Amino acid sequence: MRHHRNSEKVNAGSMADIAFLLLIFFLVTTTISIDAGINRNLPALCPTNDCATPATEHNVLRIILNDDNEILMNKELVSFREINNLVSDFVNNNGDKSCNYCSGKQLSTASENPQKAIVVLEHDRQTSYELFIQVQNEINKAYAKLRNEYSQNKFQKSIQELSSSELQDVKHAYPINISEPK
């Protein structure tokens, strides 16, 4: 004679509650990193309709990243290490001699003053994203260096120690004008 045993049944009524509580716990305790992206300020709206005045060519520094990940500045091949100094020299040139705080070489082929200097960063579709970001960082470092030197000379403070009005003065002296077409 065979004995049939009924298998023991597990009370699973509270399993759904436990799973739900674990799900809530992990959702609450997990941090989700959010990529900040690239911090850029868009230009203010133009109050008049004549804001599309073209810049003169010597006020524009064109940086082109080609599909071979080569860097061209105004159609000349440059190395990555040169970007910071070349951008700084271009912006701080003082070609029209109107800038009393600029220490540039006053070349006729570079910008007239920091307010008129525009850096154009162009790239090919095949340019590596890593190079694009590195070049942007070098451009920002050049502007940061110029702003910090201006802050030290005018206020005898680092840029982190400035008041908001002093910081606005520094930003006005060296505005960041970067154009990224495409």
What would the 3-class secondary structure string for the chain be? CCCCCCCCCCCCCCHHHHHHHHHHHHHHHCCCCCCCCCCCCCCCCCCCCCCCCCCCHHHEEEEEECCCCCEEECCEEECHHHHHHHHHHHHCCCCCCCCCCCCCCCCCCCCCCCCCCEEEEEECCCCCHHHHHHHHHHHHHHHHHHHHHHHHHHHCCCHHHCCHHHHHHHHHHCCCCEECCC
Instruction: Let me know how long the chain is.
Output: 182
The pLDDT value recorded for residue 58 is 81
* Most distant CA atoms of the chain, gap in Å: 112
Q: Is 17 left (phi over 0), alpha (psi -120 to 50) or beta?
A: alpha
The pLDDT value recorded for residue 49 is 63
The pLDDT value recorded for residue 101 is 85
Measured distance CA(181)–CA(122) in Å, rounded? 6
pLDDT tens for the 182 residues of the chain, in order: 566 677 777 676 788 888 899 999 988 888 877 766 666 666 666 666 666 667 778 888 999 999 898 999 988 999 989 999 999 999 988 878 888 888 878 887 788 888 888 899 999 888 898 999 899 999 999 999 999 999 999 889 888 888 889 899 999 989 888 888 86
